[in-house]
Amino acid sequence: MNPGARIVILGKQGAGKGTQAVRLSRHYVVPHVSTGDTFRAAVRSGSEFGHKARKFLDAGELVPDEIVIGMVRERLTRDDTTHRGFILDGFPRTVPQAEDLMQLLQPTGVDLVINIEIDTSSVLRRLASRRVCSDCGANYSVGDNPPRVRGICDVCGGEVVQRDDDTESAIRRRLELYERETAPLIEWFEARGLLATLEGTGSPDEVTDRLVSEVDRRKQRALPGC
């Protein structure tokens, strides 16, 4: 047996990272670690940390590396993630974050970095219809995946809202930063033999199937004696 999974998900805003990360975390029974969700929870809690984070989030700017890295380091050194693994969503987003992550995860590293690919016109369409649970972070779409009861989360009963940073200017800024800071990570992980690029088009179920078969293939290959 080869339980758990240690997976990083990369992809443009609206590629379906969050949706797929939740599904993979259920499939492999490992925690979903989302830096975006953690920051949004901090903002809602009204803490001083949340107050600081908010100005970056609302403007679509990246939170400074040292803040994010400290937060992720704390989360990935807890027992559940060190034993079973994690689905990392929204981190790393810059090369210094990736370097820090690989160092932190030594000697086991990650099983796979999945790059969910999607064209920019689909991204803009998806972001405009995206809604999110303000309590548990579940993702919905007013078009093809609305909550069963309007405005109420299927999973936890929380309020389903549009994200504060899903405004035109913040979206533009996030996509710009993705190209500049995050896209270089695709080559960075590729060079280390860790990357799989998969299509983000199709229904969420189709995408999940695609992701799970790739992860299982890699895990199989990594088994001793195979």
How many residues appear in the chain?
A: 226
Query: Pattern of binders to ligand ADP over 133-172, x per CB under 6 A?
Result: --------------------------------x-------
Does position 136 interact with Zn ion (CB under 5 A)? The reply is yes
Give the Å distances, CA to CA, from 25 to 35, 84, 161: 15, 11, 23
Task: Identify the burial level of 153 via C-beta atoms within 10 angstroms of its C-beta, where 0-12 means exposed, 13-18 middle and 19 or more buried.
Answer: buried
The one catalytic residue in 93, 131, 210, 219 is 93
- Of these, 156, 159, 169, 179, which contacts Zn ion (CB under 5 A)? 156
Q: Cβ 116 to Zn ion, closest distance in Å?
A: 22
130 Cβ partners below 8 Å, 6+ apart?
14, 139, 140, 141, 162, 163, 166
Task: Identify the burial level of 212 via C-beta atoms within 10 angstroms of its C-beta, where 0-12 means exposed, 13-18 middle and 19 or more buried.
Answer: middle
Query: Pattern of binders to ligand ADP over 183-222, x per CB under 6 A?
Result: ----------------------------------------
Two tokens at 43?
């903002």
Task: Identify the burial level of 182 via C-beta atoms within 10 angstroms of its C-beta, where 0-12 means exposed, 13-18 middle and 19 or more buried.
Answer: buried
Q: What does 97 interact with, of ligand ADP, Zn ion, none (CB < 5 to 8 A by kind)?
A: ligand ADP
Q: What does 136 interact with, of ligand ADP, Zn ion, none (CB < 5 to 8 A by kind)?
A: Zn ion
Q: Cβ 154 to Zn ion, closest distance in Å?
A: 8
- Of these, 93, 131, 210, 219, which contacts ligand ADP (CB under 6 A)? 93
How is residue 61 annotated by DSSP? P
Count of residues interacting with ligand ADP (CB under 6 A)? 17
- Say whether 130 is catalytic: yes
- Of these, 68, 110, 133, 195, which contacts ligand ADP (CB under 6 A)? 68
The one catalytic residue in 6, 54, 163, 219 is 163
Q: What is the DSSP string of 4-37?
A: SEEEEEEE-TTSSHHHHHHHHHHHTT--EEEHHH
| Helix H or strand E encompassing 86 | strand 85-89
Q: Which is nearer to ligand ADP, 101 or 112 (CB)?
A: 101
Distance CA(223)–CA(217), nearest Å, equals 10
Residues with a catalytic annotation lie at 17, 93, 130, 163, 174
Residues engaged in binding ligand ADP (CB under 6 A): 13, 35-36, 39, 56-57, 60-63, 68, 90-91, 93, 97, 165, 174
Q: Which residues bind Zn ion (CB under 5 A)?
A: 133, 135-136, 138, 153, 155-156, 158
